[in-house]
Amino acid sequence: MKTFKIGGIHPAENKFSAHQKIQTAPLPKQAVVMLGQNLGAPAVAVVEKGAEVKVGTLIAKAGGFVSANVHSPVSGKVAKIDEVVDASGYKRPAIIIDVEGDEWESRIDRSEDLVKDISASKEDILAKIADAGLVGLGGATFPTHIKLSPPPGKKAEVLIINAVECEPYLTSDHQLMLEKSGEILVGIRILMKAIGVTRAIVGIENNKPDAIALMQKLAQNELGIEICPLKVQYPQGGEKQLIDATIGRQVPSGALPIEVGAVVQNVGTAFAVYEAVQKNKPLIERIITITGKSIEKPSNLLARIGTPLSELIDFCGGLPEDTGKVIGGGPMMGKALLNLEVPMTKGSSGLLIMPSLEAEREKMRNCIRCAKCVNVCCMGVEPYLLMSLVENEMWTEAEAAHIMDCVECGSCSFTCPAARPLLDYVRLGKNKVGAIIRSRK
């Protein structure tokens, strides 16, 4: 079975919410819609305090080339446009809407019917995706329409769909495939049309045999769509690792996947593309996994953007007594949250509630030079070396040791027997070295 060739680890999967049917989360009383929900420039508000909005009304326009529209996820009245503390702990602008009823824009097709025929042209597809404010739903939140428009001179050869879900605990993509496989396949067809390729590969790790079987059955009738089961290994959902695993090509250092002819999209994004193009539905809700060892009901929820995370936790049985840490995303790359009043955003793939027993790190010891960090590094760099270079502020040497190649998967810190915070230091170094590189230009 295929997998990527360099490094990798096997963290405990802990997929407690696997096979939990997608439930619709209750509407919030007040939705807090962040303006910066995508990688790149934040959107610019186009509504004012007191404006009446429906579900799907455009409330903020893309604020630059790399940016995405934001639509109202609820119906009601704009209470204020103000700064709120986001998941990173910084104050950022948001549109706060008092919810009244649940009235949708009339252009949105809310029926469950599967629309298979793709009538939109390539240009229409890209325009609809841009209008709908789609971003990569795997967590990176890069605006989808830009990823689908390769730079001049570059030609896409293959579309790779990321259905790996290699983060432990998370199950939203898995459940989405089980419940919406037909829609996903239409979404893949739309994406293929948008980038003009005849071949698509769906990479799924073989810890989801039911999803593989279901998708394989459906893909039989679809010319050019292959389902590629992958050997379970973290970080296979990393774009570079997935390209290597599925088509055996490696993206050169510092280059984009298009350099090897690949465009990678998350399976959740493919579903959102279906809804945007076939149903005129902007990105106003998504599937989020609420999970953890002590939470009462680990669940996969369909929740509106802007819903405070605390309300989602309450819906799943409330915050457990022994909670030590709450992580937005998975345990390997997710972000620990400072408070639970932060709202759901387009990039919220999961919420992991961790007991305090597991929340604290082991005491750091001397590096015993066991080379385990080197062996697991999926980019083939040397974490132990990068850490000591950063400790000694040797930025030139750190750059020469390819510190900027690091994708921050965390396998090194996960593996280190001396519990050294390797990735913390590498991140520090990447910040510094990145600034030095930018200042040269």
> In the range 11-40, which residues lie near other proteins by CB under 8 A?
11-12
User: Which SS3 state, helix, strand or coil, does residue 190 take?
Assistant: helix
Q: Does 296 bind other proteins (CB under 8 A)?
A: no
Which of 174, 193, 240, 346 binds other proteins (CB under 8 A)? It is: 240
The residues in 37-96 that bind other proteins, with binding defined as CB under 8 A, are 89
Q: How many chain residues bind other proteins (CB under 8 A)? A: 74
Which of 378, 387, 398, 433 binds other proteins (CB under 8 A)? It is: 378
Minimum gap (Å) between residue 408 Cβ and other proteins: 8
The residues in 306-345 that bind other proteins, with binding defined as CB under 8 A, are 319, 323-327, 331-340
CA angle centred on 19, ends 227 and 409, rounded to 5°: 65
Q: Does 400 bind other proteins (CB under 8 A)?
A: no
**Closest CB to other proteins among 216 and 310?**
310
Residue at token pair 């097709």: 109
Q: Does 294 bind other proteins (CB under 8 A)?
A: no
Q: Segment near other proteins (CB under 8 A), from 65-73, 103-111, 204-212, 350-358? A: 350-358
Counting DSSP H helices and E strands in the chain, the numbers are 13, 17
Q: Does 189 bind other proteins (CB under 8 A)?
A: no
Minimum gap (Å) between residue 382 Cβ and other proteins: 6
User: Which SS3 state, helix, strand or coil, does residue 13 take?
Assistant: coil
The strand order across the sheet containing 30-34 reads 30-34, 91-99, 76-85, 52-53
Minimum gap (Å) between residue 306 Cβ and other proteins: 21
Q: Does 374 bind other proteins (CB under 8 A)?
A: yes
Minimum gap (Å) between residue 180 Cβ and other proteins: 29
The residues in 248-277 that bind other proteins, with binding defined as CB under 8 A, are 248-253, 255, 260
> What DSSP line would sit under 127-196, residue for residue?
HHHHHTT-B-TTTT--BHHHHTSPPTT----EEEEE----SSS--HHHHHHHHHHHHHHHHHHHHHHHHT
User: Which SS3 state, helix, strand or coil, does residue 133 take?
Assistant: coil
Q: Segment near other proteins (CB under 8 A), from 44-52, 106-114, 119-127, 372-380? A: 372-380
User: Which SS3 state, helix, strand or coil, does residue 205 take?
Assistant: strand
- List Cα–Cα distances, 351 to 79, 236, 348, in angstroms: 27, 20, 8
User: Which SS3 state, helix, strand or coil, does residue 397 take?
Assistant: helix
